[in-house]
Chains A and B, each alone.
Chain A
Amino acid sequence: MAVVVGALFAASVYMMLRRSLVKLVIGLILLSNAANLLIFTVSGLTRGKPPLIPEGMDLPAGGWADPLPQALILTAIVIGFGVLAFAVVLIRRAYEVVGEDDLDKMRSTDL
C-alpha cells in the first residue's frame, strides 16, 4: 500500500507540473486519491476483523479494524468528487473562454 501511495503522489505531482490544463486536473484527481489511500494506510490495515460486537458482550472479540479511517475516507471521497467535478467544468469553461490549453499562456492576470 505504501508503495502505491508513493507512486500516486509522484505521478500526480508529475502530471500537475505539465503545462496542459487537462493533465493538471488528472494530477489533482490522482492526488486526492493518493491522500485517501494515505489515510487508509497510516491508520493501520486490519484484515477480516469487522468491528462488530457479538451478542452479550461489550467489546468485539480479539482485535478489530478501526472503522473511523473508512468514515474519513468516505467523506473525503465525496468532497473530492464534488470539488473535482467543479474543476473539470472549470477547465472546460476556461478553455472555451481563453481558447488555450497551455497554462503558460494564461498569464494575463499576472502581468
Chain B
Amino acid sequence: MNPEVALPILIPFVAGSLSLVFFRSNAAQRWIGVIGTGALLVSSLVLLYNTWSHGVLVMEMGNWPAPFGIVLVSDLLGAIMTVLAGIMGFAVAVYSLPSISADHETFGYYPLTHLLLAGVCGAFLTGDIFNLYVWVEVLLIASFGLLILGGERGQMEGAVKYVTLNLFSSIMLLAGVGLTYGMTGTLNMADLAVKLPEVENQGLVTVVAMLFLVSFGIKSAAFPLFFWLPASYHTPPVAVSALFAGLLTKVGVYALYRFFTLLFSHDVGYTHELLLWMAGFTMITGVLGAAAHYEMRRILSFHIVSQIGYMIMGLALYTPLALIGGVFYIVHHIIVKANLFLVAGVVYFLRGSYELKEVGGVWHTRPWLGLLFLVPAMSLAGIPPLSGFFGKYMLIRAGVEVESWGIVLVALVVGLLTLFSMVKIWAEAFWKAQPEETGERARRFEAALPQSAVVLMVLPIIGLAAITVFIGLGAQPIYAIANAAAAQLLDSSDYIEAVLGVRP
C-alpha cells in the first residue's frame, strides 16, 4: 500500500471541491488555487523521490488485488510527468492571479483548473486502460469548460472543432479498450503486457494498436491528426493556453509512450516505423505552419505540433538512447513551451495585442523581459547550453546510431526553422520600435497595468526560466532520471512485477 500514489489526484480534487464551496468568493478561490497547486507540486516531488528510491510504487484501489481491481501505478515516467503537472499547475496558478479577469473567476476558472490537473495526474498514474479513458474524459470536460470561458466568437469556433475531434478520439479509445477486453479479458496494463503476446491472432492486436494510435495521435496533435490544435489553442486567456500547451497534448504523448512500450511492442517493425513517419511529418508541418503566422500565440501553437514530433521520434526509434532523449525532451518541452506562452501573455498585457505587426519595442522599455523570452526561445530552438540542446542532441544521436538519416535531417532542419520563428518573435515584438498606429493603445495598456501585476506575472516566468537553465547546465541529474525511466520503459518486468507480484 503506497497512499502517496493517490495524493497527486486527491489534492486537486479536494482543492477543486473547496473552490466550489467558496464559489462566491474570488479571493478565497485564489488562495485555494495557489495553496492547492503548491501542495500538488510538493506531493508529486515526494512521489518522484519515493519512486526513485523504492522502485515502481503501486496502490490497489479499495484493496482489490491487481488484475481485478483498479491500480494506480507510479513508475518513473509517470512520476516525472506528475511532477511536471505540479510545476505547471503552480506556475499557472500564480500567473492567473493578475491575468485572469474577475468574470472568468466568477464563472469557475479555479475549480475547472483543479479538475483538469486531477484528470491529468490521474491519466499519468493509472495502471488500467479503462481508468485511463475515464481520466482522459475528466480532463477533457474540464478543458472544454476552460476553453469556452469568456464565450467570444473565436473561442466558440475553436471549441466546436476541439470538442468534436477530442470526443471522436475518446470514442476511438473506448472502442480500443472494448476490443482489447474482448481479446484478453483484462484491462490491467501489466496483465495486458503479459497476455497480449499470447493472443493467437496477432494481426488483430496490431489493428487495436492502430485504434489507440489514432486516438492518442489526435490527443497529442500528431500529423495528420493535429488540426484541432492550431484552431483552438490561441483562443482562451493566455494562462489557460499555457496550461493546455504544457500538459494536454503531453497526456497523449505519455499514453503513446506507455502503450507502445508496455503493450504494443510485439511488431515494432510496423508500428514504430509508422510512428517514425508520423514524427517526421509532424515536425515539418508544425514548423512550417509556425513560419507562416504572425500572431504570437498561433506561432507558439504550431510549435507545439512540431515539438510533439521530436517526442514521438524518441519513441519511434525505440533504442535506449532515443527513449532517454524522448523523456528528456518531454521534461524540457513542457516547461519551455508553457513559459513562452506566459511571456507572450506579458507582452500582450504591455502592448494590447498578440499580432506581431502591432507590437514592438518591449526591449527598450523592459529589457529583462526580453532576456526572459530569450531563455525559453533559444532553448526551444536547441541552442547550447540550454535544456533543448541536450534533448535534441540525444535524439539526433540516437537517429544517427540506427542510421535513420531521413529523420535526422528533418530534426536538424526543423531545429533551424524553429530558431527562425523565435527570432521572428524576438525581432518583431522586442527589437523593432512600437508601430505608430497602435502606439496609443499600447500606452493605454501599459499604464493600466499595475506594478504588482507585473511582478506576479514575471515570478513564474523567472521560475520556469531558472528550471530551463538548470536542466541545461546541470543536465546530469535529469539525464540520470530519464535514463532510469527509459530503462523501465524498455524492460517492463519491474512494472509487471510491482503490479502483479510475479516476475514475467
Contact = CB atoms under 8 A, between A and B. Distances in A.
A97 B178 contact: no
A100 B160 CA distance: 12
A98 B128 CA distance: 41
B228 to A, nearest CB: 10
A75 B131 CA distance: 10
A87 interface: yes
A16 B152 CA distance: 24
Interface string A12-50: 000010000100100010011011101100111000000
B234 interface: yes
Contact of A83 (B159, B167, B231): B167
B181 A43 contact: yes
B154 A108 contact: yes
Interface in A89-111: 90-91, 93-94, 97-98, 103, 106-110
Contacts of A32: 167, 171, 174
B160 A106 contact: yes
A40 B285 CA distance: 39
A52 interface: no
The contact size tier of chain B is 35 or more
A40 B140 CA distance: 24
B54 interface: no
A90 B159 contact: yes
A24 B178 contact: no
B268 interface: no
B157 interface: yes
Q: What secondary structure prevails in chain B residues at the interface with A?
A: helix
Indicate the member of B134, B182, B231 with the most A CB atoms within 10 Å: B182
A82 interface: yes
Nearest to A71: B130
A52 B324 CA distance: 49
Interface residues of A, number: 37
Interface in B180-220: 181-183, 185, 187
B171 A44 contact: no
Contact of B152 (A36, A43, A66, A97): A97
A38 B152 CA distance: 38
B175 interface: yes
A38 B178 CA distance: 7
A94 B183 CA distance: 41
Interface in B146-177: 148, 151-154, 156-161, 163-164, 167-168, 170-171, 174-175, 177
Nearest to B174: A35
B417 to A, nearest CB: 21
A109 B158 contact: yes
B164 A94 contact: no
B235 interface: yes
A36 B171 CA distance: 9
B475 interface: no
B144 interface: yes
B96 interface: no
Contact of B160 (A35, A82, A83, A91): A91
B134 A79 contact: yes
A39 B164 CA distance: 21
B140 A98 contact: no
A31 B171 contact: yes
A79 B137 contact: yes
Contact of A94 (B137, B140, B159, B178): B159
A94 B158 CA distance: 10
B181 A69 contact: yes
A43 B182 contact: yes
Contact of A42 (B141, B156, B161, B179): B179
Contacts of A21: 160
Contacts of A34: 171
Nearest to A12: B171
B232 interface: yes
B209 to A, nearest CB: 16
A82 to B, nearest CB: 7
Contacts of A72: 130, 177-178, 181
A10 interface: no
A4 to B, nearest CB: 15
A93 B158 contact: no
Nearest to A44: B182
A90 B141 contact: no
A109 B262 CA distance: 38
B175 A35 contact: yes
Contacts of B181: 39, 42-43, 68-69, 72
A93 B182 contact: no
9 contacts: A28-B168, A39-B174, A39-B181, A42-B179, A79-B134, A94-B159, A94-B160, A98-B156, A109-B234
Interface of B: 130, 133-134, 137, 140-141, 144, 148, 151-154, 156-161, 163-164, 167-168, 170-171, 174-175, 177-179, 181-183, 185, 187, 230-232, 234-235
* Nearest 8 A/B pairs, CB to CB: A42-B182, A39-B178, A94-B156, A106-B157, A35-B174, A35-B171, A97-B156, A109-B158
Interface of A: 16, 21, 24, 28, 31-32, 34-36, 38-39, 42-44, 66, 68-69, 72, 75-76, 79, 82-83, 86-87, 90-91, 93-94, 97-98, 103, 106-110
Given A24-B164, A76-B174, A106-B157, 5 more contacts: A39-B175, A39-B182, A86-B163, A94-B159, A106-B161
